[in-house]
Structure 1
Amino acid sequence: MDIALDPPMTVVLQYVNAFNNGDSKAMAALCADPMQILDGMSPHVWQGPTASEDWWRDVRREGEHAGASSYHIALGEPQHVDVTGDHAYVVVPATMTVNLQGKQVTQTGALFTVALGKAGTQWRLTAWAWAKGA
């Protein structure tokens, strides 16, 4: 099976697509309860049933302050899609583009690391971390 089509990776791709569309409800629907997020933006950690929506609210708030908008993530080929029973670990190189005060800025060399678990027959994100690149 093509690694990009593995069920855990499919959910990661759906989450990133929801992010790219600014759809915090769709992001939250792909998450387990509880959910945890670790990101370079303060307060750095979000957790609980509304972690994705709280994080997205803070992204928008910080974006307004910094003059940032039009966030977009592009994922590369996964470095790991490790599945052990009802648990999965995914590591994917990522590039983020953002409009910063009218100029497109590209962050390369980032890593998007995701833990997933099964809720019934569905994979759900249980945690993710973004490691900044250049």
Structure 2
Amino acid sequence: MATVRQYVDAFNNGDEKAMAALCADPMQILDGMSPHVWQGPTAAQDWWRDALVEAERTGASDYHIDLGEPRHVDVTVDYGYVVVPVTFSYNLRGRRVTQTGAVFIVALRKVGTDWRLTAWAWAKG
């Protein structure tokens, strides 16, 4: 969970470079936002760029994810799988929106001595 928390902290701080540094190569992202799938060594940066474009288009800002207690944390030698409920909040044209019941699913791989995200998916609440 430590790497997942670091990734979410980087997201909450708008730190694209820190998010990317926590990802393995290749990386895969599946999200509700079009084009829905990002893959490859720049998946995290490409997803972040598209998220900012979508935010501009919809008038969204000040994104924040709060992690709940994990439902699954499975580790098998050098691979991990995490399912964690999340609360996602943001401003939408000046009004605070809170999305509850969402789920963040993450696959991880050990790279050297460090855990790195290899994939994540988001399911809206």
Q: TM-score, normalised by structure 1?
A: 0.93
Alignment RMSD (CA, Å): 0.4
Q: Where does structure 1 lack aligned partners over 5 or more consecutive residues?
A: 1-8
Give distance in 1, aligned partners of 2:37 and 2:23. 15
Residues paired across the two proteins, number: 125
Matched-pair identity in %? 75
2:104 aligned with 1:112: yes
Map of 2:32 onto structure 1: 40
Deviation string 1:47-88 (CA, Å, 9 cap, x unpaired) is: 111111110110110000000000000000000110001000
Q: Name the amino acid aligned to 1:101.
A: R
Q: Does 1:27 align with 2:19?
A: yes
Residue in 2 aligned with 1:56?
48
State the match for 1:78 in structure 2: 70
Pick from 3, 13, 29: which aligns with 2:5? 13
Gaps of 5+ in 2: none
CA distance in 1: counterparts of 2:7 and 2:46, whole angstroms: 15
- 1:117 and 1:62 map into 2 onto residues whose CA distance is 29
**Residue 99 (structure 1) aligned with residue 123 (structure 2):** no
TM-score of the two chains, using structure 2 as the length reference: 0.99
CA distance in structure 1 between the partners assigned to 2:72 and 2:27 by the alignment: 21
